[in-house]
Chains A and B, each alone.
Chain A
């Protein structure tokens, strides 16, 4: 065969078909399949609800998966008590509007010890108020499967995460005991005490999330849209002064700047970006032209090399 011969057995171009699925439709169908499969094969599933845009999409897909029936599992929000006020207001409004079974868990021991991101730093705070709190809640309610909104495109160690991911009785993730996950056959078996984390959005990218929010008109926390907000600049991060718990350094004063958030978490750990994008079209345009990844605003990813991988092994979602 000559090297110039491009195709050995070229086939005719495919004919368009109404049954052919768009990228977003296929992602949606895959997520719905994962929800149904998990609910059918586990005893006591729960959906981790972090109030962010990915959680909004996750909830929307879950509702679709079981329509016209009701959501067959509760939602769990691990509240560190340091979330933006607007996040909590949004959470409560959505739960009421949709009639959701919403559980809110806070690590009371951590709270009593006064653990917080300002006093203890991001590592200790995340460990006690998020990782440990999550483990407490899962143990308390004996949940054997927890849906989460993590995506493989978020961070390098997530790229290797399975859709159905096994956790030990201590909620640890063992990268060496990852199961093969061929076709669309999910192994939802586990030993007593072990549990599963299930990620229906594994194959979504940040842009897919935004396009889907736009297409489906999914409500999201207003913090994602640009608006004048009181911020201080620290170590290259723009932090919003959401309440009086953020101590100001000498000479530091909150300034009103037009900012928005690409991800949402605990407010002292979540950097804002300067942006004029106040609508979904503008956000999508900005996302497409973006020169930094969305997790750049996350302080916890910078707790040293392999930070996320280590946190996951310890049981961070």
Chain B
């Protein structure tokens, strides 16, 4: 491995003249969150280490520590093992595998990046789902020698389930197969076939070598036939948060800010869409309507606010909204549901059986949720539903939950922020599951119990139309 000489990003002598331009660039650039998925030996940690190293995020003292650690724990002989930059916990180093979600940061002139580094091990599905839940993009690693594996299919299905619409198919270790264009094309074709049934808007295949750095940050000389750019160039230009900004306005009330009798504001983080003073909104559940008078922030009122911003809304009318309710654009109400059909990623070590009672945190409200029934367990590799009586750790399943009161939600397929929830074990207080709200089946519509019963036997049979059919059906599309 080569240590590149540091590029002097910033010469002290030109501080004054460059400073304004520099600040403008770094203040205004966007952040992209992505998840790196791969099996144990696909070179995922090495790839992330490579991104950090080649974008000059690694400091000299860390390099020194890395050289020391490489001799002790490294798998690259005398060479520096970049994977050790990202394998954080001592226990992991000793086992030589990554066992939890870690977040890494790097930035370029164009964007800041947050990488969720998640394990490829089968039993750690929940960690990958966690990492994927906030990611804009997934980088799915494949070892060029192995080609597509069961894990690749699982990872693709999982990130698609979690609503990621743009993926990179990073075919790693291309140096070990002599940069074979045919082999690369074969892997890409196989992935395209499989992914045809998934809800991806864009797939970018890139042949690379994390170990040598080709096509990661710097273009590789061995792939003149590749016109798809480097991994970094894709990450720097792929659209961010498009869906959230274009969705209807939603904001869960976190806190009623009432410092004195003259001010009453509803504080929250905008989940999706945009809001302006004068907009008509409705407060849900309940559906009381009001007009936005001010968008208060500590820095002054705003003329407009969009997804992800934390604000405090002052409404023109004296209505009594409280924590747990959702303020939404008038004319685009959420679903108000007391029975929730949901896809669960079961995270607890204990089993889940029908009748179990848990807490569900949905947005800013926490309600009691009882498992009415387990509709089906989802095969993590094919996405096909099958019968299940109980769920074990890392199972993915569709369930029906009965809540002790109605909540305002969207289908996850329509809105990741307002269509998601967590289940909390009442005894241990641990997070027992990640939940995705499934669209109620057509034909319901009596408000509180919008969903119609699902025929379990039909659900358990292989879905017509294969994976695509089943996904469309599951997500109500």
Contact = CB atoms under 8 A, between A and B. Distances in A.
Contacts of A152: 102-105
B434 A182 contact: yes
B61 interface: yes
A184 B252 CA distance: 12
A292 interface: yes
A253 B304 CA distance: 60
A33 B310 contact: yes
A40 B257 CA distance: 11
A186 B129 CA distance: 15
A152 B448 CA distance: 42
A205 B107 contact: yes
B127 A68 contact: no
A63 B257 CA distance: 13
A207 B25 CA distance: 13
B310 A29 contact: yes
Nearest to B363: A185
B429 A187 contact: yes
B202 A11 contact: yes
Contact of B269 (A6, A18, A23, A29): A29
B189 interface: yes
A203 B9 CA distance: 23
Task: Identify which of B184, B305, B416, B431 gathers the most chain A CB atoms within 10 Å of its CB.
Answer: B431
B62 A293 contact: yes
A289 B19 contact: no
Contacts of B228: 4-7
A100 interface: no
Contact of B114 (A8, A203, A211, A289): A203
A83 to B, nearest CB: 24
A14 B239 contact: yes
B361 interface: yes
A180 B26 CA distance: 31
Interface string B104-120: 11010001101000000
B421 interface: yes
Interface string A67-111: 111100000000000000000000000000000000000000000
Nearest to A152: B103
Interface in B110-137: 111-112, 114, 126-127, 129-130, 133-134
Given A19-B245, A160-B101, A214-B23, A185 B361 contact: yes
B239 A66 contact: no
Contacts of B126: 180
A157 B88 CA distance: 5
Given A23-B112, A32-B269, A292-B60, A3 B205 contact: yes
Interface stretch (A46-54, A124-132, A218-226, A280-288): A280-288
Interface size class of B (residues with CB under 8 A): 35 or more
A189 B185 CA distance: 49
Given A11-B202, A17-B245, A183 B89 contact: no
Interface in A1-53: 1-11, 13-14, 17-30, 32-33, 36-37, 39-40
Contacts of B239: 11, 13-14
Task: Identify which of A37, A182, A211 gathers the most chain B CB atoms within 10 Å of its CB.
Answer: A182
Nearest to A189: B429
A291 B306 contact: no
A29 B202 contact: no
A64 interface: yes
Contacts of B189: 1
Task: Identify which of B30, B181, B225 gathers the most chain A CB atoms within 10 Å of its CB.
Answer: B30
A179 interface: yes
Interface size class of A (residues with CB under 8 A): 35 or more
B20 to A, nearest CB: 9
A228 interface: no
B90 A181 contact: no
Contacts of B101: 160
Given A17-B306, A23-B31, A189-B429, A293 B59 contact: yes
A69 B204 contact: no
A37 B361 CA distance: 12
A296 B58 CA distance: 13
A112 interface: no
Contacts of A4: 225-228
A213 to B, nearest CB: 12
B422 to A, nearest CB: 5
Contacts of A178: 100
B59 A181 contact: no
A28 B240 contact: no
Interface of B: 6, 8-10, 12, 15-16, 19, 22-23, 26-31, 59-62, 86-91, 100-105, 107, 111-112, 114, 126-127, 129-130, 133-134, 181, 184-185, 188-189, 192, 200-205, 207, 225-229, 237, 239-242, 245, 254-255, 257-259, 263, 265, 267-269, 274, 296-299, 304-310, 312, 323, 347, 359, 361, 363-364, 416-417, 420-422, 424, 428-431, 434
Interface of A: 1-11, 13-14, 17-30, 32-33, 36-37, 39-40, 63-70, 152-153, 156-160, 175, 177-185, 187, 189-191, 194, 202-203, 205, 207-208, 211, 214-215, 281-282, 284-286, 288-293, 296, 305-306, 309
Given A7-B203, A26-B308, A282-B15, 8 more contacts: A8-B200, A20-B241, A21-B308, A22-B30, A23-B31, A160-B89, A211-B23, A291-B6
